[in-house]
Amino acid sequence: MSGIRTIILCIAVAVGLVIAAAGDYAPTSSAVYGTAIVALLAVGLYGSTHGIVVEELRENLRIVVLAVTVGVVLKVVLIAGVMLAVFRKPEYVVMAVAVAQIDPLSVAALQSETRLSETGRTILRAWAAFDDPVTVLLAIYLSTFALDVQATGDLAAFGYNLGLNALLICVAWLTWRYVRVAAARQPRIREVLLVVRSRTAAASAAIGGVVVFAVAKSLMLTVAVLGLFARPPARFDNVIKWSVQATMVLACCALGMALAGGVDWIPGLVLGAAAFGAQSVAAAVLTRRLELTDRVSLALCQQNGLTAIILSLVLEAQHHGTVAVVGPAVLTVNVLHCASNAIWHRLAPRTTSQSAVQRAGALSGSVDFSAPVKP
So what's the pLDDT on residue 3? Answer: 64
Q: Is 290 exposed, middle or buried (0-12, 13-18, 19+ CB in 10 A)?
A: buried
**Are 369 and 339 spatial neighbours (Cβ–Cβ below 8 Å)?**
no
So what's the pLDDT on residue 374? Answer: 42
Residue 293 vs residues 52, 287, 320, 369: alpha-carbon distances, Å = 19, 11, 41, 37
So what's the pLDDT on residue 149? Answer: 46
pLDDT digit of tens for each residue in the chain (375 aa)?
Answer: 456 777 888 888 888 888 887 776 666 566 777 778 788 878 878 887 887 778 778 888 888 889 888 999 899 999 999 999 999 888 788 888 889 989 887 887 766 666 788 888 888 888 888 887 677 667 766 665 555 544 444 556 667 777 888 899 998 888 777 766 655 555 555 554 544 455 566 667 777 888 888 888 878 788 888 888 888 777 788 888 888 888 888 888 887 887 777 889 999 999 999 999 999 999 999 998 888 889 999 999 998 887 788 778 777 767 778 888 998 999 899 899 989 988 888 886 654 443 344 334 433 344 343 344 443
SS3 254: helix
Tell which phi-psi region holds residue 263, choosing left (phi > 0), alpha (psi between -120 and 50) or beta. Answer: beta
**Are 351 and 295 spatial neighbours (Cβ–Cβ below 8 Å)?**
no
| Whole-model pTM over 0.85 | no
So what's the pLDDT on residue 48? Answer: 75
CATH architecture of the region 2-131+230-351: Up-down Bundle (1.20)
So what's the pLDDT on residue 369? Answer: 35
So what's the pLDDT on residue 165? Answer: 87
- Could you state, in order of their start, the residue ranges of all structural domains in the chain? 2-131+230-351
Listing DSSP states for 70-100 in one string gives IIHHHHHHHHHHHHHHHH--THHHHHHHHTT
Rounded Cα distance, 139 and 97, in Å: 6
Q: Which residues contact 78 (CB under 8 A, 6 or more apart)?
A: 274, 277, 278, 281, 282
So what's the pLDDT on residue 233? Answer: 74
Amino acid letter for position 25: Y
So what's the pLDDT on residue 108? Answer: 74
